[in-house]
């Protein structure tokens, strides 16, 4: 692995406090692999063999039944996924596919469990990571159960604006149908939700969203710190 990438991974909260030897052990037997866009990295219901780290690119976590499919999370660099399944040696609850050409670090599950047992700092980091993941998911669940589609979109835009906005302009970094699925609605309904938001100070041109009247959007969205978390945009464990 190139030292530039190793440094990025090392910076993750999950790995930052590890002993050097633990980190080396983890990295040594891992694979760093580059995937094109649209590749299935894992499939739900399969045993969890690797902990995955998104080093570059963008990954969609989703679940599917016969007829329906829904996006549960979108993971940006540098973020990890399926830690929980790895720890319990269980099957994945979610599938993952690349939304962009991506570089993924795959750490054998066995190694992760072993490192957890030998390095208490690592176990502590895992506790914090899992606690954060749990809270993030609870927030998603609250959003899903208590808000309308347009409200979920409005608050997503506000979080986007705060984290990555420039002069009230937000760039949607994924296909709209993916955003729709993430927000729990159909693509058609996302279009209509944007129409609804037009009367609350929002204009859309393609993937470029302009928030013209922030105050008006805030009134409509009624953001709630117990639901809207900066971390709920894209999962990034780092910084």
Partner DNA sequence: CGGCCTATTGAAGCCCCTCAAATTTGGTGG
Partner DNA sequence: CCACCAAATTTGAGGGGCTTCAATAGGCCG
Query: 22 vs 181, which CB is nearer to DNA?
Result: 181
Any contact of residue 189 with DNA (CB under 7 A)?
yes
Which pair of tokens denotes residue 211? 């928030």
Any contact of residue 149 with DNA (CB under 7 A)? yes
Give which of a copy of itself, DNA, none residue 31 binds (C-beta under 5 to 8 Å, depending on kind).
none
Site string for a copy of itself, 105-124 (x = CB under 8 A): -----------xx--x--xx
Distance CA 215, CA 88 (A): 46
Helices (H), the chain: 3-11, 13-16, 20-28, 83-88, 109-118, 120-146, 149-164, 176-182, 187-198, 214-221
Which strands form 59-64's sheet, in the order they lie side by side?
40-42, 95-98, 59-64, 69-75
Contacts to DNA from residues 14-53, by CB under 7 A: none
Residues of this chain, 159-218, that bind a copy of itself according to CB under 8 A: 184
Helix (H, G, I), strand (E, B) or coil at 171: strand
**Distance in Å, CB of 236 to a copy of itself, minimum:** 17
Q: How far is the CB of 62 from DNA (least distance, A)?
A: 13
Among 19-27, 81-89, 159-167, 171-179, the segment contacting a copy of itself (CB under 8 A): 81-89
Q: What DSSP line would sit under 174-218, residue for residue?
A: S-HHHHHHHTTS-HHHHHHHHHHHHTTTEEEETTEEEES-HHHHH
Among 194, 216, 218, 231, interactor with DNA by CB under 7 A: 194
Binding site for DNA (CB under 7 A): 67-68, 148-150, 175-177, 184-195, 204, 206-207
């Amino acid at each position: 692995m190139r030292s530039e990438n190793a440094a990025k991974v090392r910076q993750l909260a999950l790995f930052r406090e590890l002993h050097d030897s633990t980190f080396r052990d983890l990295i040594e037997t891992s694979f760093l692999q580059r995937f094109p866009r649209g590749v299935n990295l894992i499939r739900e219901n399969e045993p969890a063999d690797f902990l995955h780290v998104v080093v570059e690119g963008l990954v969609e976590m989703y679940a599917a039944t016969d007829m329906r499919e829904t996006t549960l999370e979108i993971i940006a660099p540098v973020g990890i996924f399926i830690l929980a399944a790895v720890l319990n040696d269980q099957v994945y609850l979610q599938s993952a596919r690349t939304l962009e050409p991506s570089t993924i670090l795959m750490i054998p599950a066995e190694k992760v469990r072993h490192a957890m047992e030998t390095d208490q700092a690592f176990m502590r980091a895992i506790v914090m990571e899992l606690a954060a993941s749990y809270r993030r998911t609870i927030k998603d669940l609250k959003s899903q159960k208590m808000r309308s589609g347009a409200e979920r979109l409005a608050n997503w835009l506000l979080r986007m604006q705060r984290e990555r906005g420039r002069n009230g302009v937000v760039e949607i970094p994924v296909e709209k149908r993916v955003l729709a699925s993430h927000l729990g609605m159909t693509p058609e309904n996302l279009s209509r939700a944007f129409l609804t938001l037009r009367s609350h100070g929002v204009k859309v041109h393609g993937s470029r969203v302009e928030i013209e009247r922030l105050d008006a959007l805030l009134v409509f969205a009624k953001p709630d710190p117990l639901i809207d978390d900066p971390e709920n945009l894209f999962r990034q464990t780092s910084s």
